[in-house]
Structure 1
Amino acid sequence: MTDVTSAKSARHPHHWRRDLVELAAMFTAVAVADTIAKLIGHTPDGPFLLVASAVALAATAAFHTWWARRHGNAPPLGTAAGSPAAAHGREHDEPRETALWRMRTTVQDTPGSLAALCGALAGLGVDILTLQTHPLADGTVDEFLLRAPASLQARELTREVAAAGGSGTWTERADAHDLVDTPTRVLGLATRTALDAAELPLALRQLLGRCTIRSRPAVSPTGRPAGEMPPVEGVLEETVMRLRDPNGGAITVERAHLPFTPTEFARARALVELDARLGPRVPRSQDVLTLPEGNEITVRRADQGDTAAALAMHERCSDRTLSLRYHGPVQDADRYLNHLLSPRFGRTLAVETASGRLVALGHLLWDGDETEVALLVEDAWQRRGIGSMLLERLTGMAAEAGCESVYAVTQASNTGMVAAMRGLGLPLDYQIEEGTLVVTARLDAAAVPPGPLHERAEQAGRSGRTER
């Protein structure tokens, strides 16, 4: 006998015995059935009893089939209705109210540390939607986007994470915008920065979360050096990072609630390097509008290339108009133009006549966590609705950038600016001190859409053409 035959016999032993047993059982069943049939058949009611037995057997088979189909999805044996497994299944079947959380915690860089943390979150009924890791010298910072039961409190979440080995835990509520994965979000911010140099501070704020960003020029408007500049590679100091501004000067980013990681520092530096390689740029789209009296004006983005035209407009403005705008000596007004027109410090809209003369400027200035709006309209073109139009567009830009409010600093006697702020139809706060009036408008991004000029600016930037 060969090895192959032996192997087959080992796998299927004694099949002939089982066949004999089955054959004997079949013969026995036939003999019993024949005997019962003859006994019943020779009685007066024999045929009726045989038919009734057949019907009863058929009904029993049909009932068994129906019962099996109806209860085919019953829980497997060993899973009682009140068992933890059954309760867990009911939790997933029934809809529950949830909330999104962003959480960042530091864990030891050892095998199993992340698994313990994930186990603690699972015990709270928390789903992990995204996870980013930021390696450090003595551990790893893990950043989570979580979907948790709405009843879960931040204190309880922090306590369980600490018990699982997490330290320095920070949490805050998230929204649907955080569901975008990090590579997609970074690519979108890089695209916005490439189209418009004024987007760099906003891109850094959206990249790094809740933080304060300040741009400092290398030379102040009065001509004095602004202080020591950071090196080209930048400086990272716990909750502060300093980056070299490609336009000259420095960009300082501060975040009070948690330190920056080397990964975040590298991402911020990459955005700044992208801005440096692309050089100065603003969208070159423009809108042509008709004033009530019939004159056509052009509204477009302005930059430092418009400094000469802005200086010429200063020459045509009265001292009162300049003093209402710059809140200081009129002879110092020209010093601020180069700073105001820089895309790094905000966005500027310019208004030109049909002949190309610059007659108005509107500024949206990034001031740390706040945003300032400022207007200057040449005397001969005032009271024609130009200031209100510029203010409405600047406010729309601020809302689209995610700003919570905008404020205007003016004098209490500047009724034109106050009327323009009221014309926005937004909630206003007033603060006045020694004749200086600060009017703050609280923005609602859903109620203040961006102006047509900004929408066309993005389209023109993508297509590389100018609209007129």
Structure 2
Amino acid sequence: MALWRVRATVDDRPGYLSVLTASLALKSVNILAVQVHTTEAGAVDDFLVDAPDAMTESDLLAAVAKGRGRDAFVTRAEAQGLADQPTRALAMAGRLVHEPDALGETLATLLDATDVRWRPHPAFDQPGVHGGRMTLADPAGGSYEILRALPAFTPAEYARAQALVELAAAVTRHQRENVTFMLPDGAEVVLRPAVADDLAAVRELHARCSAGTLRRRYLGGGSPAEARLRRLLEPAGGVTLLAVAAGGRVVAMAGLLAEGELGEISVLVEDDWQRRGLGTALLRRLRTHAERAGFAALVAHLAADNAAMLRTLHRLGHGPVEHDGGLVSVTLPVSAEPVTDEAASEQENSRYFG
């Protein structure tokens, strides 16, 4: 006996699939697995079959035609084809969780494709299937074009492939946004975006901060109410970054809040973690996010006696500074200025005094 893959389109009407399977059974063909893909042209039936050794491709095509199948495709199959397509797709999704860069190879394997091409621009046509060509939208920008001679792609294959593309993009984004930062004293923290579930840890951060630290962050006010903390964790049009130490303890947070074309930035660092470069690292990542999001500039509103924050903004290359009594508003360009030798030395010192 030999393994074959058989694909054919039949009318999506009661009894037509049984006619096709009966025609194959009359030739002693044993159906091991079957998938049905619904398309506008009818039901595309995809079989993995075990056929007598003497049976040829022409014999199988004739049996399909006799069973009212059309647009038939027949090819030899390997033993790994015994795994059904949903199971294969799940296995490949598991691989992408650990190797998102293997997306092209994964798509080629899943779809038996002859060519997988990534283009840096969106597709000229709508994402979907076009015979032996599939177009996929890349959430990170660009598009994928996948080609194979036969058989034509189905909507179900497109849905699985697009899901894998989105999974790989999500994993890549997660890896990019979760960064381990080493402080000059050797301590490590993870810098990552905040989520709603961080509320309890952020509340504990505020409880550990001194009254002076909270006053400098909130311009005279104490720890904010829980409703405001929730808004700070997921600001509309912006982002909040957390610094998470060992044991999941949040030791700092930095926020970017949209104000039209400007982004308002703020930082809160637990007292024991201040002057260790953590605030500078968070602000640099906020500026990178602001550049990707298209903000025109960043602005920080702070107390005039907040010398540590003023030094940090100076190191980052701030622009105009406006004074209003005890309040200072500092504008920070979104794109970092070219670093001179003197500035490079100052940035190195900021690792220890930021």
Q: Normalising by the residue count of structure 1, what TM-score does the alignment of the two structures yield?
A: 0.36
| Structure with the largest fraction of strand | 2
Q: Choose 1 or 2 for highest CA Rg.
A: 1
